[in-house]
Amino acid sequence: MGALGYASLKPSLTKSVESADRRPHEVGVVAAMRSGEVLGSQTVLKSDHCPGCQNVSLPERVEGAPNFREVPGFPVFGVANPTIDGIRSVLQRIGSSKGGRPVFWHNMREEPVVYINGKPFVLREVERPYKNMLEYSGIDRERVERMEARLKEDILREAESYEGAIMVIHETKDGQIFDAWEHVNSDSIQTPLEVFKSLEDDGFPIKYARVPITDGKAPKSSDFDRLAANIASASKDTAFVFNCQMGRGRTTTGTVIACLVKLRIDYGRPIKVLPGDVNHEQADGSSSSGEESGSDATRLTSSTVKVRTKNEQGRAFGIDDILLLWKITR
């Protein structure tokens, strides 16, 4: 058993003993033989969900949607990347079934994700299955969604070589990795964009936005601006849902921003979102930066929380918003 939990993992291996259905037995062999544009050599598809991903201290459980939570007093919710059934369960839980309350769902992930048979899988390196791939840090929305569409094509093409199946990996409770074959076809593989478009077509009152933010880093002002514009432009009865992989870091960032904006709208000066204020291409193209350390957090605070001019105060955030938050929540 190797350090990562693989049995005799040798990514450079080019020959293997095949089963009767012509499928290699080892994940390292399959990964080495991959040749897709996105699902390339030495990459694997890892299940997002694993034992232990649920925070046991959270009071509520939603099947297929780990770490679901509601911010008390706000129409704001956070969740890990759910299964397709989990998305439907979340919508039902917050009253956004067909003909119900509108919901604006924000996906904060920058790593390429694909749904296989209703479950989310993320692209990882075979030698680093627990870590996000560094080359996607700072990716913009258009690029990550193009990659996910291409990833779907790569999976279908590779499955043709293995009689309609694709090898994926899962994580055990003790952190070991094991592989499994998933039978797939063009209907059983969906990108996140396709999943939410399908839900919208089915009559769910849902809007979807991808706002990629680097895990463990603060959002840049352009990310904040886009989220603020989305929240401010939504109807008053809209529920806001945020997800990342585990529903922790980036999800919490999104929920905090949503609460600040809602406080401003409901108790402070109205936010004026003027045409041209937020260029979505620029917002998507700007990477998140700043490690979550004391020194960087200090620099972030000093650079983003400042008193604005009178012309900016009608639509921008500043120190007065922090005072407003303190006044309402104390």
Amino acid identity for residue 67 in this structure: N
pLDDT of residue 25: 78
- In order of their start, the domains of the chain are 27-52+112-190 (no CATH), 69-110+192-329 (3.90.190)
Q: Give me the sheet containing 206-210, strands edge to edge.
A: 69-70, 76-79, 239-243, 103-107, 206-210
Rounded Cα gap, residues 195 and 181, in angstroms: 22
- pLDDT (0 to 100) of residue 271: 55
**What is the predicted pLDDT for the residue at 258?**
97
pLDDT in the model for residue 140: 92
The reported pLDDT for the residue numbered 317 is: 46
pTM of the model: 0.76
Q: For the chain, which residues score pLDDT lower than 70?
A: 1-22, 269-330
Q: What pLDDT, on the 0 to 100 scale, is given for residue 216?
A: 86
